[in-house]
Chain A
């Protein structure tokens, strides 16, 4: 069966520091991968999606970037965090032949 994991689960970082959240999917190949941010009262906002290695699309302009160095690995990064980057980040995957998105456990980021 397919599984998705992301880490770290919680992170407290000072303003201006870098960020790296990692996500991996097991049990499937060539998945579509996504990074979402969940903000209170604002639902889930799609940040990035990827349909293949090295293929990254951004949905909204922001202080973050994403990379997909391997087929089942998706990384969310920032060179310098802002206070407004605080939030709950979710990695997700879907099969190109299905239409359901499955989410990881999420990562709480607090920028102080």
Chain B
């Protein structure tokens, strides 16, 4: 069965600091990869996704993620965080299973950006 690990449960950064959130998955086959974000009081939103092609994926609000197949990783990065990036971030892996998307989420990383 697939699994997703997010190693940082809580990250605190000052504004303008660089961000990297780790995500590793375990599955030997073809997967699709996602990062979702949940801002305080809001619903879960898609931040970026990787299906195929260029392993460096750019998402909304200046976020990007790099798929490294050999490391089974899909780390999320942002060069300079803002206070408005305070949110919980979820990595997810999906594969097609019997006609539906079997999606497994990580446990989430809470990011707190201090002004």
Contact = CB atoms under 8 A, between A and B. Distances in A.
Interface of A: 32, 34, 36, 41-46, 49, 51, 57, 90, 94, 96, 99-106
Interface residues of B, number: 25
B101 A102 contact: no
B101 A43 contact: no
A43 B107 contact: yes
Contacts of B36: 103
Q: A interface, by DSSP: helix, strand, loop or mixed?
A: strand
B25 interface: no
Nearest to B104: A46
Interface in B74-109: 90, 92, 94, 96, 99-108
18 contacts: A34-B101, A41-B9, A41-B107, A43-B4, A43-B106, A43-B107, A43-B108, A51-B99, A51-B100, A90-B44, A94-B100, A94-B101, A99-B32, A100-B49, A101-B34, A103-B45, A106-B43, A106-B44
B47 to A, nearest CB: 11
Contact of A100 (B46, B99, B102, B107): B46
B72 interface: no
A25 to B, nearest CB: 14
Given A42-B107, A43-B108, A44-B105, A103 B94 contact: no
A41 B96 CA distance: 26
Nearest to B88: A38
B100 to A, nearest CB: 5
B51 interface: yes
A101 B90 contact: no
B103 A46 contact: yes
A38 B100 CA distance: 20
Given A49-B100, A99-B32, A43 B105 contact: yes
A43 B32 contact: no
Contacts of A102: 46
Nearest to A45: B105
